[in-house]
Structure formats: C-alpha cells, structure tokens
Amino acid sequence: MGTAAEPGRPAGRVRRGRRLPRAFFAADPLTVAPRLLNKVLEVGDRSVRIVEVEAYRGTDDPASHAYRGPTPRTEVMFGPPGHLYVYFSYGMHWCANVVCGPDGVAGAVLLRAGAPRTGVDAQRAARPAARRDVDLASGPARLTQALGIDGSLGGIDLCRPDAAVTVRDDGVAPPPEPVAGPRVGISVATELPWRFSVPGDPNRSRPR
C-alpha cells in the first residue's frame, strides 16, 4: 500500500532514520554528492531513497546557475549549507538541490532521482503520468512532483527540527563504488564526471 518493498531489506516497519546535520552539507558538493546516495529525502509522509545526484559548484563551474555570480534566483546557493535551492525549469518543472559548501561559497547537489519508499500512494496520485512505480521519481522534475516540492519550499533550512523537507540517514550506506558520469542536459563542462548514481538501480533517470 503506502510503502514500497525494498529488495534486500526485510519487510515490515520502515526506519525513519535521523536528519542529517548541517556539517554533512558543509563539504564541497563533489564530496557530498556521492555521500547523498542511499540517503532518504522526506516530505511529510512521502519519502524516496536518493539514487542519482549531480554536483554543481559555483563561480568555477560554467554549467552552474551560480557561475555568473548571485542573482535573485541563485542567491541561496551562496548562503549556508543545508538549505534547499529550488528552480523552475523549461517553463513548467521544479527541480530541487541541497546547498553545499561553506557559507559564502556557491555550490549545490541536484537531486535527480529516487526510489519510492513511503507514501507511495500519494506519490502515484501526484504523478498520474507515471505508468510504473520506477517512473515516479526517476528524473529531477519527476522527483519534485512525486514529493510535492515546488517553489514555495525554495530556500528552506533542511536542518531545522521543524523543516518541511528533510534528508535522513536510515542506516543504508552509500554504494562503495558509485557510477560516475557526465551531467545531463548541459552544454558546457560536459567532460566532468560529476553525476553519481547507485549502480544498477532501476529508478535512475533516463538521460536523453
């Protein structure tokens, strides 16, 4: 019903785990990105296990929204780590990032795909176009749709006790050897292997 089976884990009660502290996000996006794999992204009763991410840096990364310095849209990327950077893409989609790196240095990790975990019925209701459950959160805008993340949550602090969105550790370790490859949908810095995913996970996004 509400909870998806996770292969390799015993059926039954789902561990909620504990919210990641701000220190987790204070490192460089390139360091944080692979560590976020297999962490849990939770919004209310809905959650996914993060299976694909991309690192974006700031003024030294031409593919980053922060490359040309702060703007009203991107200023949160220049602020303290552990906040949510949400942007509107292609006129119709929301995409969510976690701000990483020290305060004053721009950086973020784009949350690209997740495996549905709890509140799966609500995720299906939020994603009527998804034919199969592996399509529920298998893309950055699909993930935000499945969990109900939009611009109204932009800038929130994920590390506060009362945060509407949290990233949690339920005891599942990141993959020891994550798949690394080029970031999707960019036209510059395409040689950098800054996209990370859980090897073999069927919920990863399908690059075009």
Partner DNA sequence: CCGCCGATCTTT
Partner DNA sequence: AAGATCGGCGGG
Residue entry with tokens 């069927």: 202
Which CB sits closer to DNA, 92 or 173? 92
- The least CB distance from residue 33 to DNA, in Å, is 11
- The least CB distance from residue 169 to DNA, in Å, is 23
Q: How far apart are CA 147 and CA 44, in angstroms?
A: 9
Binding residue for DNA, selected from 19, 39, 65, 204, defined by CB under 7 A: 65
Structure tokens that stand for 66 in this block: 């922060």
166 closest CA partner among 50, 2, 33 = 50
Tell whether residue 66 is a contact of DNA (CB under 7 A): yes
Instruction: Count the site residues for DNA by CB under 7 A.
Output: 40
65 closest CA partner among 167, 73, 115 = 73
Which CB sits closer to DNA, 11 or 196? 196
Q: How far is CA 67 from CA 3, 131, 187, in A?
A: 40, 37, 14
Considering only residues 163 through 182, tell me which ones interact with DNA, judged by CB under 7 A. Answer: none
Tell whether residue 83 is a contact of DNA (CB under 7 A): no
Structure tokens that stand for 93 in this block: 């989609």
Considering only residues 10 through 49, tell me which ones interact with DNA, judged by CB under 7 A. Answer: none
Number of other residues whose CB lies within 10 A of the CB of residue 155 = 14
- The least CB distance from residue 137 to DNA, in Å, is 9
Considering only residues 127 through 166, tell me which ones interact with DNA, judged by CB under 7 A. Answer: 127, 129-130, 135, 139-143, 145
Tell whether residue 56 is a contact of DNA (CB under 7 A): yes
Number of other residues whose CB lies within 10 A of the CB of residue 92 = 7
What DSSP string describes 191-205? T---EEE-TT-TTS-
- The least CB distance from residue 82 to DNA, in Å, is 16
Residue entry with tokens 């805008």: 141
Which CB sits closer to DNA, 71 or 152? 71
130 closest CA partner among 206, 16, 49 = 206
Residues found near DNA in the complex (CB under 7 A): 54, 56, 63-66, 68, 71-73, 77, 85, 87-93, 95, 97, 108, 110, 127, 129-130, 135, 139-143, 145, 183-187, 205, 208
